[in-house]
A and B are shown apart, each in its own frame.
Chain A
Amino acid sequence: MTTEASQHPLELTNDFAPGESNFIKVDNFKFFYGKKEALHGINLEIPSRKVTAFIGPSGCGKSTLLRNFNRMNELIPGVHHEGDITIHGTSIYDPSVEIIALRRRIGMVFQKSNPFPMSIFENIVYPLRIAGQNTRSVLEETVERCLRSAALWDEVKDRLHDSALGLSGGQMQRLCIARAVASRPEILLMDEPCSALDPIATAKVEELIIELKKDFTIVIVTHNMQQASRVSELTAFFYLGNLVEFDNTRKIFTNPSMKQTEEYITGRFG
């Protein structure tokens, strides 16, 4: 099913080494909810056009870090950070960076699919409309492009103007992915995108993720370790606000370097 699986098993040199291309660079990043320090100085370099999985038990800080990449955490009152996150060498906290523009360049898919209570069409063009784009032809072209890249076009092309809330759970989540890529972002952040889906819908979304990494740098938070090992090239294991280990997914799941990682992925925790 996956391109990953069809690779020759001896093609180990083809594996991706961390730090080869530092697209997203996290530099001694600390994050606080009020006085509580949720991340304790994370250093991480996420390469371009790869799938990077964040794993770890609940409350380990993986989602917190993910939500800092597009500064979604700042919607929560009383948070602050130390250290820096750069994308393409530019700090996302640079005063010249507009938070709106940042979020347009970084698509986000959430744990629970959250289509707007509008038509399928309007859901996808929403990012364009809020950017002032209302030309009919552009909108139509975008809807087809996004639905195709989310592998949803064939399923919904005849009912684009029906309510998005009439779709199945898996379709809704793929619609959200389509919406997330509408503004042509470079990065896709996924926060447990399959946790509410059945195995078949999950498989479709995973297939989609592998397909999308040709065009996007994908960071996915997941509690499903099989999922991390299926879709990602790199895996970061977080525990208690620290990055314990960051390495090739294959390495993490066959021979992790850190004892904590080993204990977590083999199910020997707590």
Chain B
Amino acid sequence: MHKEPSKVHTISIFTTALDQLRSSVLKMSSLAQLNLKNSIKGLLERDDDWCNNSIADDEEIDLLEMQIDHEGIEVMSRFQPVASDLREVISSIKIGANIERVADQAVNIARRARKLNEHPQLPELHLLDRPIRLALTMFDDAVRSFAERNATLAVELKSRDKELDQLNRELTDVLINRMQDDSANLPSYLNLIFISRCLERIGDHACNIAEDIVFAVSAQDIRHPSKQQ
């Protein structure tokens, strides 16, 4: 599985450019992790400051996404990478796009959290604990498997995504029932449903990232297994 070429390129600036691209992705992912954690903190601690932090820092992530695209295109046009290098560049660009979406979901969560904070806390907020923990660990593991080039860890993410999807469906059903009983708090229930939906999307993006990592490391395409061959 792990057959990363040991030596560096004969053209050292090629190695440098690839390293630069890689560190941009890592920088972007740690920023996204931080933003996501800030949003969650704002939600659970009912603190608008954390939410505002997360919303403000999203701009830097957008810039980093553009920088990754730029660096990826630069590597391709200057060095015409093939094999593992080509896969690394392609997947870096795709991972960049997915991280950007994760960060967007963090912003969405922050915005919904601020709205929730305007009203008294609902006891159902703690129904989100499990999906939050799952989404956070999934994204953390996706980032870790990129940093470690660990395809095994990446493959494992797919099954956890199913669990998150299931949690989201159950939670939505519960909250819809609660909305009927407690129509006064309807906007807040709606916001909770939206947040649950955001967490589910983060799981999807973590999965996409995992798929790109598997492709980069082992050249296997694990997307849509039913539609291949």
Contact = CB atoms under 8 A, between A and B. Distances in A.
Interface residues of A, number: 18
A255 B8 contact: no
A222 to B, nearest CB: 14
A253 B8 contact: no
Given A254-B219, A255-B219, A266 B84 contact: yes
A267 interface: yes
B11 A267 contact: yes
Contacts of A229: 82
Interface in B76-111: 79-87
Interface stretch (A121-129, A185-193, A256-264): A256-264
A268 B7 contact: yes
A254 B11 contact: no
B123 interface: no
A270 B9 CA distance: 9
Contacts, number: 49
A262 B84 contact: yes
B57 to A, nearest CB: 36
State the majority secondary structure of interface residues on A.
Answer: helix
B11 A266 contact: no
B82 A266 contact: yes
B14 interface: yes
A226 interface: yes
Given A253-B82, A261-B83, 10 more contacts: A253-B86, A254-B87, A254-B219, A255-B83, A263-B7, A266-B82, A266-B84, A268-B9, A269-B7, A270-B10
23 contacts: A229-B82, A253-B82, A253-B86, A254-B82, A254-B86, A254-B219, A255-B219, A262-B3, A262-B5, A262-B84, A266-B5, A266-B81, A266-B82, A266-B84, A266-B85, A267-B10, A267-B14, A267-B79, A268-B5, A268-B7, A268-B8, A268-B10, A270-B10
A225 B10 CA distance: 15
B86 A263 contact: no
Nearest to A263: B5
Nearest to B220: A255
Contacts of A259: 3, 5
Contact of B80 (A226, A255, A261): A226
A265 interface: yes
